[in-house]
Structure 1
């Protein structure tokens, strides 16, 4: 059994699919070839403008596809086998593929139809289910979790999620990213955290300091939902008690964890 959530308009990580460049999707005719890029809808215009800078004189068309819906197909429980009941497919009306980031994020369904109608054994969820699941798994998504100019690829664990290529030719930031990956030490990483205590009515704000028991800076809270979220933390501090000060006299305990899907060498 799977849980399906439509990532619809207005969400902080609301994707829209855009045909960006020549290529071929599995099962599609050559004349209809292209790539679909899922992105945060709040930056769709900015992304199109940015990619247009690199089109130069190529015959490439980029256009939004608002008629397409993107659904997340998630396991009902972390222990459920999310791969056995489904098979990848590309048809005239739908594309079903494994989420390229990590297996614990299940599948992505791109279609103009209603998602549950295509997966009759699925239960309809909502965006809160989806975001809670990915925060628990430590998966950042969209500009809220990965603010442009602030989030670094390696600290955000994008190399673990097929988000960084170390074999592709030059791209902006490629030299520094590759050198750090092969020779450097990554001292801070974006980690899933759980908050324990009385939270402010509006939640914990982005950039709020996370402190050690002695009051030393351990990192910063990035984003979250309810009592789960993501924080950029110094790895040397995560085994000790951490907290966020809510007021002069109140604080919220912060418990960080290392996701099970991370490569073993980094745990």
Structure 2
């Protein structure tokens, strides 16, 4: 442990700088003129989430060729990449670190000292068997007016339970699914009785051993 001083700096703003294409994943997006006016660090979760920019200036002015988006764009991007964030995607007391793929995103240490749930997490990791994971999903049918309820059951064409919808935005989201059953046609029975088709995918940035 180290003694640190935490101070508020309301003059600073945090921007997410998201890559517009796979070719941009490795390129630092700041203009050279930014200099000491900004701090740019990679999002530690995955290169697909780009960079975090801390600056007093307007972020878009420092990013060459950048387009200003909003929170909708940010959440849409991370759902497409299969990146969970916050209590909707990772409900306390429900979400497990390895099922939530946190080991893929520098979110779990297997070398540090004890922490709550450390023994179960380490044992599951070393056994190498994680039967359920949080997968990105895309809805293929129009959504009902009330949307899809978090926790809604995901079913196969034959009616077999595959998992549960966790959270989402628009036609994309995350669902906790049995890994071996994600390839066939899937659907959710919405509250209005409608059947909404969806497809799950495996992000290409996941380690090969997990696919």
Normalization by structure 2: what TM-score? 0.90
| Coordinate RMSD, CA, aligned | 2.2
Q: CA deviation at 1:117?
A: 2.2
Find the aligned partners of 1:262 and 1:82 in 2 and give their Cα distance. Answer: 15
Q: CA deviation at 1:85?
A: 4.2
Residues 92-241 of structure 1 aligned to structure 2 (within 5 Å): 93-241=37-185
Task: Say which structure is richer in strand.
Answer: 1
Find the aligned partners of 1:216 and 1:96 in 2 and give their Cα distance. Answer: 46
Task: Identify which of 204, 207, 210 aligns with 1:260.
Answer: 204
Q: CA deviation at 1:112?
A: 2.6
Q: CA deviation at 1:64?
A: 5.0
Normalization by structure 1: what TM-score? 0.72
Q: What whole-Å deviation, never above 9, does each CA across 1:164-190 have from its counterpart, x for those lacking one?
A: 011111111111111110015111000
- How many residues get paired? 209
Find the aligned partners of 1:259 and 1:240 in 2 and give their Cα distance. Answer: 17
Question: Is contact 2:29–2:63 with CA below 8 Å preserved after alignment?
Answer: no
Q: What whole-Å deviation, never above 9, does each CA across 1:185-231 have from its counterpart, x for those lacking one?
A: 11100000011112122321111111111212111101111111000
Find the aligned partners of 2:192 and 2:168 in 1 and give their Cα distance. Answer: 23
Question: Is contact 2:101–2:133 with CA below 8 Å preserved after alignment?
Answer: yes
SS class of match (2:134) = strand
SS class of match (1:123) = coil
Task: Identify which of 12, 15, 21 aligns with 1:71.
Answer: 15
SS class of match (1:124) = coil
Q: What whole-Å deviation, never above 9, does each CA across 1:58-111 have from its counterpart, x for those lacking one?
A: x4444554443211111223x332322437x99754210111111111111112
- Please list every run of 5 or more consecutive structure 1 residues that lacks an aligned counterpart in the other structure: 1-20, 23-58
Find the aligned partners of 1:218 and 1:110 in 2 and give their Cα distance. Answer: 41
Find the aligned partners of 1:160 and 1:248 in 2 and give their Cα distance. Answer: 37
Whether 1:80 and 2:58 are equivalent positions in the alignment is no
Q: CA deviation at 1:118?
A: 2.1
Point out the more displaced range, 218-227 or 241-250: 241-250
